[in-house]
Each structure stands twice: as structure tokens, then as C-alpha cells.
Amino acid sequence: MKEELEIIKILKSTWSQRKTILTFASLFVLFGIVSALLAPREYKVTTTMILQTESGSGGVRQGLGGLASLAGISSGMRSSDEIPPTLYPQIVSTAPFQLEIINTKITTPKNSSPITFKEYQSKYGSSLGFLGTIKKYTIGLPSTIVKGLKRNSNTETFSVVPEDSLLRINAEDKALMESLAGILDLSVDEENGIVTLSIVMPEAIAAAQMATNAQRLLQEAITDFRIKKIRDQLEYTNDLYDERKAEFLDFQSTLARFRDQHRNISTAMAMNELERHQANYNLAQRIYTDIASQLENMKIKLKENTPSFSVLQPVIVPLQPFKPQRKTIVLTSLLIGLACGLGFVMAKHQYVVFRNLWKST
């Protein structure tokens, strides 16, 4: 019974302070409205694609294998090195990929000529909005000063030094690469192999262009990794083919000249030399034919192992901003205001109870 009376007393006290609660709620709602109106806009572009695996192109592979067998070539149909889709997010977080991203060029309504992402961020990407600026130069002022000092103290630029071939990244590029975590997002559906790439930027056209560039660079990175070994082998086999072809033609010409000069062979020495030229020609022909078969085999392997990407959702320039979600901001502010007002009233009630109890003792 005492507990019920205590609860009723608290409810009456809270109801009597409803103006205070409403005042808190009104102030927070007003703050939420101002925040929603002043928050910078952000546009999100999402594109999805899927890598066509070997199982999806079996008909083509079987056709190539059949042609190769008719030509007397062993196609060696086995998969080359490839990156599992689960490792694609690791690709976009590597330094070479991120350096490519920040140096890709985009065109925006604010610029008549294309500029790099690095230049774009330097000119327009630092716009934090009204609240962001206040935060940066109040509670975030110490970190802002430290970052400025680090940027000034580190003048080392990105380069590949011929002496040691070490990759060097300056402070500005490193900061941009770290900011990509909040701009670029890559997720993979392991079950279906669908890759989803998202870009968030202050301008719709810039976001769409960055998404296109990121998608292209990702496809190039996957393709390069997958066919690099075969491409290197193809280049080596092609050089070897040119050498053996020249050698074969040389032996062929030597044999032809000898036969023209010795139409009626009557001595054992001449017959012995003819057999030697014929043996050299036959050996060179076998080697040349074998290398030619290997070259065609490598061309087939390069073609069949070059990945094919199917874009399920192309890049589309967004019409509406992704952020700020003004209704959500205002509603959240209202709930926080009501909670703070209720907490204040209850704390005040407990304080009064405690003070009366203290005086009575």
C-alpha cells in the first residue's frame, strides 16, 4: 500500500511539473529543427555486381577446349589464381587501391574542368556544416591543432623510390585514405556472390562518378590479380615463340640452300652434311610447332580466365539526399527532451524528499 501511495505521489508531482517537461521537450525539438536544417546534405550511390564464375561459362570453356583438342593442343582446363569475393573488402582497404581512388578525377557543377578526389576534398569536402564547425573549434579543437601540427611537420610525399622501391605516403594522402572509410563501403553476399558498393558524398554527381571509378578500379584489380600469372606466361611464351620461329626459318633456309647447291650428291661427306642439316631442321620444326601450340594454349587460358562482371544495379545519380533525415532528428530530439525533462523532475522530487527527511532528523 505504501509503495502504491509513493507511486501516486510521484505521478502527481510529475504532472504538476508538466510545464517543465514540456519546456525541456520544446528546447530539444527546437535544437533538433535547427540541427536538421543546418546539417550538410549527403548523397548515397549504390551499385551491385556479380562476378561470372567458371561454372557459369562452362559452355564457352567446353567449346574452347574442343577447338584446342582439334588443333592438337592440350588446353589444360584448370582454374587460375582468383580472389574469393569475401576478400573484396580487403582490396578496397589496401594502400594502392586507395591511392588510385583519391587520384581519380571527377567533374562537378562547381568546376568547369575535372579535378581529382583529393582536390575536391580539399576544396569542398571539409564542409562540416554549422554544428560540425562548432564542434571542430570547441571540444574538437585540441585534435584539430594536433592534426595541423602533424600535417605541417610531415612534408614527405608519396613516391616510389627507385633505390628501395618502398611505397611512401604523406600525411595529407593518409588522412584522405582514412576518410574513405566513411565515404566508400563494400559488402559481399557470400551466399549469392553479389558485391554491393556504396559511396556517400556531399554532391549527387560527384558521388555517382566516384562510385563508377571505384567499381572500375575494383574490377581491374580483380582481373589483374586473376590473370597476372597467365599474362606473364603468355608474354614469355610469345618471346620464346619469336625466337624459335626465327631459328626454324634459319634452319629451313640453310637446308634449302644446301639442296640447291648439291642437287646430285655423290659423296659420303655431302650426304652426311645433308643429314645434319635435315636433322637440325626437323628438330627446329618440332620445337617451333610445340611452342606454337603452347602459345595458342596460353591465349585460350587467358581468354577463359579473364573474369566477366555483370552489373545488377548500375550507378544512378540520386535525386534525394541520403542525409540528413530531418524527421528522425526532430523525433529523436523530442524523445530525448521528454526523457531529460522527466529525469529532471524526478531528480528534483527526490531532492525535496531527501531534504525534508534530512531536516526531520
- Secondary structure, 3-state, the chain: CHHHHHHHHHHHHHHHCHHHHHHHHHHHHHHHHHHHHHCCCEEEEEEEEEEECHHHHHHHHHHHHHHHHHCCCCCCCCCCCCCCHHHHHHHHCCHHHHHHHHCCEECCCCCCCCEEHHHHHHHHHCCCHHHHHHHHCCCCHHHHHHHHHHHHHCCCCCEECCCCCCEECCHHHHHHHHHHHHCEEEEEECCCCEEEEEEEECCHHHHHHHHHHHHHHHHHHHHHHHHHHHHHHHHHHHHHHHHHHHHHHHHHHHHHHHHHHCCCCCCHHHHHHHHHHHHHHHHHHHHHHHHHHHHHHHHHHHHHHCCEEEEEECCCCCCCCCECCHHHHHHHHHHHHHHHHHHHHHHHHHHHHHHHHHHHC
Average pLDDT over residues 9-15: 73
pLDDT tens by residue, 274-308? 899 999 999 999 999 999 999 999 999 888 888 88
Average pLDDT over residues 106-132: 74
pLDDT tens by residue, 316-328? 999 988 888 888 8
pTM higher than the cut 0.85 = no
State the pLDDT confidence band at 141, using cuts at 50, 70 and 90. Answer: low
pLDDT tens by residue, 205-229? 989 999 999 999 999 988 888 888 8
State the pLDDT confidence band at 71, using cuts at 50, 70 and 90. Answer: very low
State the pLDDT confidence band at 46, using cuts at 50, 70 and 90. Answer: very high
Question: Which pLDDT does position 61 carry in this prediction?
Answer: 44
Q: Return d(Cα 95, Cα 145) in angstroms, integer.
A: 26
pLDDT tens by residue, 225-249? 888 889 999 999 999 999 999 999 9
Neighbours of 58 (CB within 10 A): 11
Question: Which pLDDT does position 239 carry in this prediction?
Answer: 95
Average pLDDT over residues 125-149: 56
Please provide the average confidence, as pLDDT, over all residues in the chain.
80
Q: Is the pLDDT of residue 74 over 50?
A: no
Proportion of the chain above pLDDT 90, given as a percent: 29
Q: Return d(Cα 333, Cα 65) in angstroms, integer.
A: 66
Query: 40: closest CA among 181, 198, 202?
Result: 202
* Between 147 and 110, residue with greater pLDDT: 110
State the pLDDT confidence band at 140, using cuts at 50, 70 and 90. Answer: low
Peptide bond into 324 cis (omega under 30): yes
* Between 353 and 228, residue with greater pLDDT: 228
Q: Which residues contact 115 (CB under 8 A, 6 or more apart)?
A: 105, 106, 107, 108, 123
Q: Is the pLDDT of residue 76 over 50?
A: no
